[in-house]
Amino acid sequence: MAMKTWLTGLLALALMAPLAQAQDKPAPRAGHTEISWDELVPADWDPLKQFKDMNFGVLSDADPKAAAMLKKMREVWDNAPVNNKMDGRAIRIPGYIVPLEEGKNGMTEFLLVPYFGACIHSPPPPANQIIHVKPKTPTKGFKSMDTVWIDGTLRTLRSDTFMGVSSYRMEAVGVERYVEKPAK
């Protein structure tokens, strides 16, 4: 696959709206506020700022410049700044599960990401778009890339896992299946 195609697809995924807004969703737990993924990113941070002058159309996968550019992108994204206003907030957010630890009692640790395939089929999104989740009690019945709602108190705490770097952590008090509104 040409570098331009691969990178264009990656950037499109990273900037997509997290999940459809039209849905029949359960209400947040008392004291939790529903947020969007955009609220985790500082208003003045542009994830593509350092890459705007690059001409991706001339790079192929075999080009050493492409490998260097991807390495630089990973460094920038793995060190993405957090929105400090989110630290300590009781929130509810939808996302996709990337399992990290699972036992006979259920999943005990996972990453929550804003788009399908993140960390699994493509490089991870910026760290400020990944939440390292440790459910208060193990969750059962979920698998990789299932969509869920999570409720809990968000912390700005960096984690480096084998699936990606996250800037946020949450001990989830609730993990519920994400259900879209039935088509009319």
pLDDT (tens digit per residue) in 43-54: 999 888 877 777
Q: Bigger pLDDT: 130 or 122?
A: 130
Would you say residue 45 lies in a domain? yes
pLDDT of 55 strictly over 50: yes
Q: Does the residue 88 lie in any domain?
A: yes
- Give a yes or no: residue 23 inside a domain: no
Q: Does residue 87 sit within a domain?
A: yes
- φ, ψ of residue 179 to 5 degrees: the values are -125, 125
Closest C-alpha to 134, from 166, 104, 167, 100: 100
Average pLDDT over the chain, rounded to whole?
Answer: 84
d(CA 114, CA 157): 18
pLDDT digits (tens, 9 = 90+) for 6-27: 344 444 444 444 454 435 566 6
CATH number at residue 80: 2.40.50.870
- Does residue 168 surpass a pLDDT of 50? yes
Cα separation values, 37 from 14, 118, 128, 129, Å: 11, 14, 9, 7
User: Residue 3's pLDDT is what?
Assistant: 39
Task: Answer yes or no: is 155 within a domain.
Answer: yes
Domain of residue 83: give its range: 3-17+28-177
- For 143-166, the pLDDT digits (tens) are 999 999 999 999 999 999 999 999
Number of domains present in the structure of the chain: 1
pLDDT of residue 25: 61
Q: In this structure, is residue 13 part of a structural domain?
A: yes
The residue among 96, 120, 129 whose CA lies nearest residue 14 is 129
Q: What is the DSSP letter of 132?
A: E
Helix (H, G, I), strand (E, B) or coil at 71: helix
The per-residue pLDDT for range 62-85, each reduced to its tens digit, is: 888 888 888 888 899 999 999 999
The 3-state DSSP class for residue 72 equals helix
pLDDT of residue 183: 56
Q: Is residue 107 part of a domain?
A: yes
Whether the predicted pLDDT of 2 surpasses 50 = no
C-alpha distances in Å from residue 183, one per residue of 32, 141, 146, 147, 168: 28, 25, 20, 18, 34
Place of tokens 């910026």: 126
**Position 182 in a domain:** no
